[in-house]
Amino acid sequence: MSVSGPCAICNSASVEYTCNRCGQLVCEDHYDESTGYCVECAAELGQTENIPESGEMPDGVDTYEF
Ligand SMILES: [Zn+2]
Ligand SMILES: [Zn+2]
């Protein structure tokens, strides 16, 4: 099975991917495999994808010593 149609971004004929968000057909160069989105959607959503999780643990443990 093959998807027919030009890339929605660069108009290339070699379209192999479909954006999981907007559904437009994009070529390999304009498809973000990590997210499954086209580069346009990845650019919109990618702003929040690369925020590193804070590994800081709050030191709020109380220790009682008699
Ligand atoms: Zn393209
Ligand atoms: Zn998209």
Q: pTM score > 0.75 for this model?
A: no
Most confidently predicted of 3-7, 12-16, 35-39, 52-56 = 35-39
pLDDT at 28 over 70: yes
Both tokens of 42, joined, read 């990845």
Ligand in closest contact with the CA of 26? 1
Alpha-carbon Rg for the chain, nearest whole angstrom, is 21
pLDDT at 39 over 90: yes
Average per-residue pLDDT for the chain: 81
Whole-angstrom Cα distance, residue 62 to residue 7? 60
Ligand in closest contact with the CA of 40? 2
User: How far does the centroid of ligand 1 lie from the alpha carbon of residue 39, in Å?
Assistant: 9
Q: CA 15: distance to chain centroid? A: 19
Q: Where are the domains of the chain?
A: 1-47
